[in-house]
Amino acid sequence: MSHKLPISVLVVVHTVQREVLLMERALRPGYWQSVTGSLDTMDEPLERAAKREVLEETGIDGGRLQRWNVTYTFEIYKQWRNRFAPGVVHNRENVFALELPARVPVTLAREEHTAFEWLPWREAAAKCFSWSNRDAILMLGEP
């Protein structure tokens, strides 16, 4: 079995009006999140991983991708640790934003997500199950 790398990207997909795309996890109903995913290889550039995850999870190919130079390190939820090599308990998450001029059609990867919503940024932040996702979305309100 191939293990996930404990280095990931979080991509806050939003419109210029600060409407944020959230998706509900397929295996965890009620868990809403932005685009997330691990690097495929240790040498995969973070920007490439961010674009790849957005395309895989939403079908969105375009927009203005920006790295926010924010990194969170957090403990991996126990129910997901089996995806990583034995002994790995922390993940380093690199935050990006993908700005779109307006809402665009979304094609979900059904094995990962079952629903999506475009929400005003404050509502989206409140709906996220992950503190790092919430905090990243709240940065949209900073000048």
- Homologous superfamily of 7-141: Nucleoside Triphosphate Pyrophosphohydrolase (3.90.79.10)
pLDDT, one tens digit per residue, over 109-141 is 999 999 999 999 999 999 999 999 999 999 999
**Mean of the per-residue pLDDT values of the chain:** 95
For the chain, domain boundaries: 7-141
Share of the chain above pLDDT 70, in %: 99
Residue with tokens 């993940």: 91
Give the model's pLDDT for residue 54: 98
pLDDT, one tens digit per residue, over 51-88 is 999 999 999 999 999 999 999 999 998 988 999 999 99
pTM for the model: 0.94
What b/e sequence results for 94-107 when a residue is b if at least 16 CB atoms lie within 10 Å of its CB, and e otherwise? bbbbbebeeebebe
